[in-house]
């Protein structure tokens, strides 16, 4: 369909890396942290999952064909590294934990995900135009980003309409923006960079 898009392999590689770095590895780490009762890593990963839920919302927005998905995807790549390094108390707790396989894998994942998100954010900037132009979003240049989410739909929601799933994405985005606004405008001023009340 979009064979003229030279960067399609890179788009699909990005989705595969996203599944690895933002879904599979953090699930393994969270289970491992619960088993080992590593509370600081548990807490940081729970915060991560709340922030990273914007990636899932983005997938549903893309299934619905909404241009705002290009903005939410970019924002997710910016917010995830912030969420991983923002908390001074958790950073200190993790730093002073005894060395072991969990700490090593978690630290490696945190750095790898940060680099991946930063590079991904830079690479996605040229596609922000897809969010603001109905003409652009209809071109192969933008549509290539919808291919993987639509395949996801075929696997996990074969009987649902894209419009309905896109609507769920919009609802999710509204809830996410309201929660983030509440945190930035209310909670951040009270607790600063401490995650104790997270």
| Total structural domains within the chain | 1
Q: Is residue 198 part of a domain?
A: no
Closest to 196 in 3D by CA, of 85, 93, 90, 82:
90
3-class DSSP assignment, residue 2: coil
Q: Is residue 74 part of a domain?
A: yes
What is the structure's pLDDT at 2? 41
> In this predicted model, what pLDDT tens digit does every residue of 145-161 receive, in sequence order?
999 999 999 999 999 99
Report the distance separating Cα 66 and Cα 163, nearest Å: 10
Q: Is residue 1 part of a domain?
A: no
3-class DSSP assignment, residue 194: coil
Report the distance separating Cα 143 and Cα 153, nearest Å: 15
Mean predicted lDDT score pLDDT of the chain: 93
pTM of the full structure: 0.92
> In this predicted model, what pLDDT tens digit does every residue of 44-64 receive, in sequence order?
999 999 999 999 999 999 999
Residue span of the structural domain in which 63 resides? 8-191
């Amino acid at each position: 369909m979009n064979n003229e898009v030279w960067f399609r392999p890179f788009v699909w590689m990005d989705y595969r890396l996203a599944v690895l770095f933002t879904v599979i590895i953090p699930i393994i780490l969270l289970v491992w942290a619960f088993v080992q009762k590593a509370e600081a890593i548990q807490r940081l990963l729970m915060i991560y999952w709340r922030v990273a839920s914007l990636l899932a919302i983005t997938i549903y927005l893309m299934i619905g064909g909404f241009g705002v998905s290009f903005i939410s995807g970019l924002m997710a790549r910016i917010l995830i590294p912030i969420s991983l390094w923002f908390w001074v108390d958790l950073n200190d707790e993790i730093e002073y934990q005894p060395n072991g396989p969990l700490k090593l894998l978690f630290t490696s994942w945190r750095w790898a995900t940060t680099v991946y998100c930063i590079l991904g954010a830079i690479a996605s900037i040229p596609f922000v135009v897809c969010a603001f132009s109905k003409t652009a979003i209809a071109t192969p240049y933008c549509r290539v980003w919808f291919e993987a989410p639509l395949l996801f739909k075929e696997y996990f929601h074969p009987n649902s309409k894209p419009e309905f799933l896109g609507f769920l994405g919009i609802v999710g985005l509204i809830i996410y923006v309201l929660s983030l606004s509440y945190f930035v405008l209310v909670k951040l001023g009270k607790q600063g960079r401490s995650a104790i009340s997270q």
